[in-house]
Chain A
Amino acid sequence: MTPYLFLAPGLLLFAAFRLYPLLEGLRLSLTNARLGRASYQYVGLANYARLADDTRFHVSLGNTAFYTVASTLPVLAVPLLLALALNRGRLRNVLRSLFFFPFTLSVVTVGLAWLWLLDPVVGPFNYYLRTLGVPARSWLADPQTAMWAIIATTVWWVTGYYLVVYLAGLQDIPRDLYEAAALDGAGGWRSFWTITVPLLRPVLLFVVVTHVIGSFQLFGQVFVLTGGGPGDATRTVVQHLYETAFQNFFQFGAASAMAWVLFAIVLVFSVLQFRLLRGHTEF
């Protein structure tokens, strides 16, 4: 009996506020439920079928996919390069803390800071670009650059977190491997590809999977920085879901269908990434 008593409070919390909503969402996605309407009917897969014609959903999905793909390389590489540099030099822990600090901020605080920094007229970023001879731009109001500004903001925000993860991973690689490789005449570049990358593979997998799951839920940065604009240029799936359920039409059924499509995409990606990256871990 004892183990079950220990487990009971936590599992109750988890079942009621995590598992039940997940399954309830699947059920709602098959109905025409709306906010504030007591009764509703089952409509089969109609909500899913309607998503196929919802152009705004397609645009949002495309934007989210673009963001995910375009941000993965910088999110993977920037902290890794920093970690490699920090791992060799002095003041490792001080520098690690400095880079980590932005990650302690909320997405709203980060968004407000960058909004002000990128202000087209009085923001310092454009001012310094102008002094370098680059014309000022409304980075967040230009469909060409808005998503890139959001990517830059995100990279700045999360780099410190992945830096800590990478540094821990680098610590676990035995020093003598590098020494042996150096004796065999391998340069820094070669030992990076033959020792660091293979031994860091589980960490790289963790970073990619975590980032991709997070990317598909992009919302806060967009809410603060662009509101989804200009036009629909930075509208994301979660934002569209939020608006469908709580802003314009209060369609809980349709929003739940979006949620499950999102969930399915995240699951497929996670499994694919595990397959792709884990397959090479054994050597």
Chain B
Amino acid sequence: MATGPRRRRDAEGLALTLALLALAVLWLLPIVWVVVTSLKPTENIVRLPPEWIPWPATTEHYREVLFSSSRTARIGRAFLNSLVIALGTVALVVLTAAMAAYPLARMRFRGRHLVFAVLVGSLMIPNAVVLVPLYVLIQRLGWLSTYQGLIVPEAATTFAFGVFLLRQFFLTMPGELEDAARIDGANAWQVFTRIVLPLSQPVLAALAIFAFRSAWNDFLWPLIAVNRPEMFPLPVALALLRGAYAAESYGPIMAGAALSAVPLLVVFVVANRRIVEGVRLSGLKG
């Protein structure tokens, strides 16, 4: 008797799932279109009606943006620059944020509430507000068009969020292991590096991904802080690539755009759960 309504609910659920799948495919069509375009020979790109299967396919646009010696197509170099900048930012943020979050979560000392309040309050500072004075500072340090001129400000921007995220996690860790290590004579630094950090790998990974994403994708700061083309990170190189080619040569531009998505796609496939967890922690406790 009860199977009737249940079967109907199952059918509704299936219809909903199929509808959502169709919507997801539709949602991703802009990205599919980028990849499809990047694989077409130039003369096929602007053909109407739009051809969704790139046949015959070619890798000429990828070869051009990666290996051509022309001044405009320096995506290969920009890709390496972005990797250095993003990985450098990750290392700096994870290290400094973990070190700062640990005492804020686990030790009692004067000023810790103030420090934490200032850090959380700073999350409201729009990046655009510090743009000009940061430029003046980096220029005075002689860091324009250098990796450190991109890494250090990028890390400083993500630092407060990192402390916030890691402190949240450290607060929930059981204290027994740390106590046991301390009884065995370990000092605070040893407890931190041998007990706390290994136990925090998931949240450290979440922070690393978050920092990688923001550094890899940041546009406004490198647009200002770099004026030598060989030091451009990918977003800046891509934006300028667009200006360098005539409007109809979408091939190289789309090849560059597709390449820029690869590292995070890899991270995303490998560590999907960490990303979701990171977003969840950042969103809900915010």
Interfacial residues, chain A to chain B (CB-CB below 8 A): 2-4, 6-7, 9-11, 13-14, 16-22, 24-25, 28, 82, 85-86, 88-91, 93, 95-102, 104-109, 111-117, 119, 121-122, 124, 127, 156, 161, 164-165, 168-169, 172, 202-203, 206-207, 210, 213, 216-217, 219-220, 223-224, 237-238, 241-242, 245-246, 252, 255-256, 259-260, 262-263, 266-267, 270
Contacts and interface: CB of A to CB of B under 8 A. Distances in A.
Contacts of B103: 2-4, 6-7
Given A107-B217, A219-B220, A2 B107 contact: yes
Nearest to B192: A6
22 contacts: A9-B96, A10-B96, A10-B97, A20-B137, A24-B133, A25-B129, A88-B16, A95-B21, A98-B28, A100-B276, A101-B265, A104-B261, A105-B260, A105-B264, A113-B31, A113-B33, A216-B126, A223-B219, A224-B239, A241-B132, A255-B131, A259-B129
A247 to B, nearest CB: 10
B235 A108 contact: yes
Interface string B126-153: 1111111111110000000000000011
Contacts of A266: 124, 126
B283 A168 contact: yes
B50 interface: yes
A164 B128 contact: no
Contacts of B96: 9-10, 13
B219 A107 contact: yes
Contacts of B135: 245-246
A161 B216 CA distance: 17
B280 interface: yes
A24 B136 contact: yes
A86 B20 contact: yes
- Main DSSP-derived SS at the A contact region: helix
B183 interface: no
A242 B13 CA distance: 50
B117 interface: no
A28 B132 contact: yes
B30 A164 contact: no
Interface in B242-286: 242, 247-248, 250, 253-254, 256-257, 260-261, 264-265, 267-268, 272, 275-276, 279-280, 283-284, 286
Contacts of B127: 217
B260 to A, nearest CB: 5
A17 B92 CA distance: 13
Contacts of A115: 242
Given A10-B97, A156-B27, A165-B284, A116 B37 contact: yes
